[in-house]
Chain A
Amino acid sequence: IAGITQAPTSQILAAGRRMTLRCTQDMRHNAMYWYRQDLGLGLRLIHYSNTAGTTGKGEVPDGYSVSRANTDDFPLTLASAVPSQTSVYFCASSDSTANPSPLHFGNGTRLTVT
Chain B
Amino acid sequence: GQNIDQPTEMTATEGAIVQINCTYQTSGFNGLFWYQQHAGEAPTFLSYNVLDGLEEKGRFSSFLSRSKGYSYLLLKELQMKDSASYLCAVMDSNYQLIWGAGTKLIIKP
> Which residues of A line the B interface, CB within 8 A?
40-45, 58, 90, 100, 102-108
A49 shortest CB reach to chain B, Å = 14
User: Given A43-B87, A100-B33, does the pair A107, B99 have CB atoms closer than 8 Å?
Assistant: no
A47 shortest CB reach to chain B, Å = 12
Query: Looking at B33, B35, B45, B50, which has the most chain A CB atoms within 10 Å of its CB?
Result: B45
Closest B-chain residue to A108, C-beta based? B42
12 additional A-B pairs beyond A42-B4, A42-B99, A100-B48, beta carbons within 8 Å, are: A40-B101, A42-B87, A43-B87, A43-B99, A90-B43, A102-B33, A102-B45, A102-B48, A103-B97, A105-B43, A105-B44, A107-B42
Interface residues on B, range: 20 to 34
For the complex, what is the distance from the CA of A21 to the CA of B2, rounded to whole Å?
29
Contact of A45 with B44 in the complex, beta carbons under 8 Å: no
For the complex, what is the distance from the CA of A42 to the CA of B98, rounded to whole Å?
8
Does B93 interact with chain A (Cβ within 8 Å)?
no
Q: What are 19 residue pairs bridging A and B, where the CB atoms are less than 8 Å apart in the complex?
A: A42-B4, A42-B89, A42-B102, A43-B87, A43-B89, A43-B97, A44-B99, A45-B96, A100-B31, A100-B50, A102-B33, A102-B48, A103-B35, A103-B43, A105-B42, A107-B41, A107-B42, A108-B41, A108-B42
Closest A-chain residue to B46, C-beta based? A102
For chain B, residues 3 to 48, give those with C-beta under 8 angstroms from any C-beta of chain A: 4, 8, 31, 33, 35, 41-45, 48
* A42 partner residues in chain B, CB cutoff 8 A: 4, 87, 89, 98-102
- Interface pairs A-B: 4 shortest CB-CB: A42-B99, A105-B42, A102-B45, A100-B48
